[in-house]
Amino acid sequence: MGLNKKSVDDINVNGKKVLVRCDFNVPLKEGKITDENRLVAALPTIKKLVADGGKIILCSHLGKPKGEPKPELSLAPVAVRLTELLGQEVKFVPSPVVVDDSVKAAVDAMKDGEIVLLENTRYRAEETKNGEAFSKDLASLADVFVNDAFGTAHRAHCSNVGVTQFIDTCAVGYLMQKEIDFLGNAVETPVRPFVAILGGAKVADKLNVISNLLEKCDTLIIGGGMAYTFQKAKGLEVGTSLVDDTKIDYCKEMMEKAEKLGKKLLLPIDTTIAKEFPNPIDGEIEVSSVDADAIPADMMGLDIGPKTAELFADAVKSAKTVVWNGPMGVFENPILAKGTIAVAKALAETDATTIIGGGDSAAAVNQLGFGDKMSHISTGGGASLEFLEGKELPGVAAANDK
Ligand code: AMP
């Protein structure tokens, strides 16, 4: 994989118009931003480009307007909040078609160091189809393109891939660079021992991740709901636990692959069980822990047990690189979060490089208060999974090599 990409540190945009694809896909409630992490994460790249003396044209998608203007998915609130966070005006230049003559005129009138924000790129139906007309419209605004939106890097859209066909200089921003450094390079050329930890609900969601990480890592740890399909593949009784019967053979194959490659594959040795899935998910629940080979037929495994938590934590202790994706149990319930907390704690306490895949694991680590103890928490769910699959991400590939 060519991951040596031109970054904003390799270019100087003084006097130039720079189109910056950000990930401003923030949650909104009644027009108010309820989590501004993604805005804060975009600031270093924006500030660098302003300091260079560029004319900064920001763009992003927000939610799924499905190709037409939806006022409730306008980026207007983002412009307001970015202005506050930067201490500098971010002028919103809205258009129902994102780029039109009035937007072009506003961009032409920009002075060096000024910032504008375009309207939601998904107001245009071509955006998600990587259509040429919208790609050209976007490109017509700028001399240089910077992609800092990791969350959409696994998709080929106009605003992150199509546009690069019509602009010569295409670099990645700091956020994107960090994701490439950690998720890409750390997985491709890890400092060993390299321990990968996978959890979450379903094996089927992570088939390629399991297979790829098995090749790259020294130890693969599997917990969470997906572990029970492996347990069943080993011939164990798993009761009413989450199992995908269509993936039993796949699990057997992966266990054979581990053996052939001489890799350690760690599965739970005990499990925390209950009669039923908690309802509501964070409601009261009566649990007990049993060895992995002693799950009663009418009980369901909902977390790794205490012995497993210790086993997994021990494996982490001797690692130099740890990648983690997916919770060890139904962490939304405090009674069933113990395994996930134990693993998060082990990662927080090690000197190893610790990388948390996006989505649920990122949420779990932050929610449990271990966020600042990790080397890197990915900002992309789907994109980080595809990186772990060893796939080339179109949004990364489209940037110039160094
Ligand atoms: P994923 O989106 O694949 O990372 O899965 C995350 C979800 O898996 C969380 O909502 C957890 O509640 C759920 N999960 C983890 N362990 C189990 C389990 N043993 N049984 C059912 N669901 C689980």
**Domain ranges within the chain, ordered by starting residue:** 8-177, 190-388
CATH pick for 8-177 out of 3.40.50.1260, 3.30.910.10, 3.10.20.740, 3.50.50.60: 3.40.50.1260
CA 206 to ligand 1 center in whole angstroms: 12
What positions carry a catalytic annotation?
38, 202, 359, 382
- Mutating to test ligand 1, I would choose from 330, 338, 378 the residue with most ligand atoms within 8 A of its C-beta, which is 330
Which residue among 222, 281, 360, 388 has the greatest number of ligand 1 atoms within 8 angstroms of its CB, and so is best to mutate?
360
Whose C-alpha lies nearest to ligand 1, atom 3?
200
Residues 6+ apart with CB under 8 A from 77: 28, 31, 32, 33
CA distance 343 to 325: 11
With a cut of 50, list the residues of the chain below it in pLDDT: 1
Q: Measured from the CB, is residue 302 less than 6 Å from ligand 1?
A: yes
Question: Could you tell me if the CB of 383 is within 6 A of ligand 1?
Answer: no
Query: What confidence score (pLDDT) does residue 285 get?
Result: 97
Is any atom of ligand 1 closer than 6 Å to the C-beta of 50? no
What does pTM read for this prediction?
0.89
CA of 332 to the centre of ligand 1 (A): 9
Q: Is the CB of 360 under 6 A from ligand 1?
A: yes
Mutation probe of ligand 1 site: the residue of 276, 324, 331 with most atoms within 8 A of C-beta? 331
Q: Which pLDDT does position 105 carry in this prediction?
A: 98
> Which residue is closest in CA terms to ligand 1's atom 13?
201
Residue 178 is predicted with a pLDDT of 93
* Atom 15 (ligand 1) nearest CA: 329
- Contact 244 CB / ligand 1 (< 6 Å): no
Q: Is 301 in the pocket of ligand 1 (CB under 6 A)?
A: yes
**Which residue's alpha carbon is at the smallest distance from atom 21 of ligand 1?**
225
Options 3.90.1150.10, 3.40.1350.10, 3.40.50.620, 3.40.50.1260; CATH for 190-388 is: 3.40.50.1260
Cα(373) to ligand 1 centroid in Å equals: 23
pLDDT at residue 188, as a whole number = 86
pLDDT of residue 52: 98
